[in-house]
């Protein structure tokens, strides 16, 4: 992975973290998984308190990224399911309600990644 591509991914990840934080997401974690993953360079994992909050954060990220020319590759999960994945290629954003986040345990599965940001 070139520094240029990784740098852009970090730039976009920071934008998504900031957007989620402004919309009151909690326990936001940005992991650099570039050295241990073949499908992405960074994960954002965050918790939402409600389905409306999840929908708002998803819409804010999608709208902002579209405005700056970053297109989504894939969305997985339904807004009301308690878990949604937004796949932007090198950046994957995971939005969870508390119960689902505890169930999936992504931080444990990717504990060899480097934590770059943690916002409680």
pLDDT tens digits, 68-81: 999 999 999 998 88
Work out the burial of residue 112: count CB atoms within 10 Å of its CB; fewer than 13 is exposed, 13-18 middle, 19 or more buried.
exposed
Q: For residue 2, what pLDDT band results from cuts at 50, 70 and 90?
A: very low
Q: What is the DSSP letter of 20?
A: H
Closest alpha carbon to 57 in 114, 65, 103: 65
Number of structural domains found in the chain: 1
Instruction: Write out the residue range of the structural domain in which residue 53 sits.
Output: 3-119
- For residue 53, give the CATH number of its domain: 3.30.460.10
Structure tokens at 19: 């957007």
pLDDT tens digits, 54-66: 999 999 999 999 9
């Amino acid at each position: 992975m070139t520094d240029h591509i990784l740098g852009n991914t970090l730039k976009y990840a920071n934008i998504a973290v900031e957007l989620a934080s402004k919309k009151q997401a909690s326990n936001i974690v940005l992991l650099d998984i570039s050295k241990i993953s073949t499908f992405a360079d960074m994960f954002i994992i965050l918790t939402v308190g409600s389905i409306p909050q999840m929908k708002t954060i998803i819409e804010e990220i999608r709208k902002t990224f579209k405005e700056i020319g970053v297109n989504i590759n894939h969305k997985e999960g339904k807004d009301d399911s308690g878990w949604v994945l937004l796949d932007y290629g090198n950046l994957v954003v995971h939005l969870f309600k508390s119960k689902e986040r505890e169930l999936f345990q992504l931080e444990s599965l990717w504990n060899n990644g480097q934590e770059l940001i943690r916002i409680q």
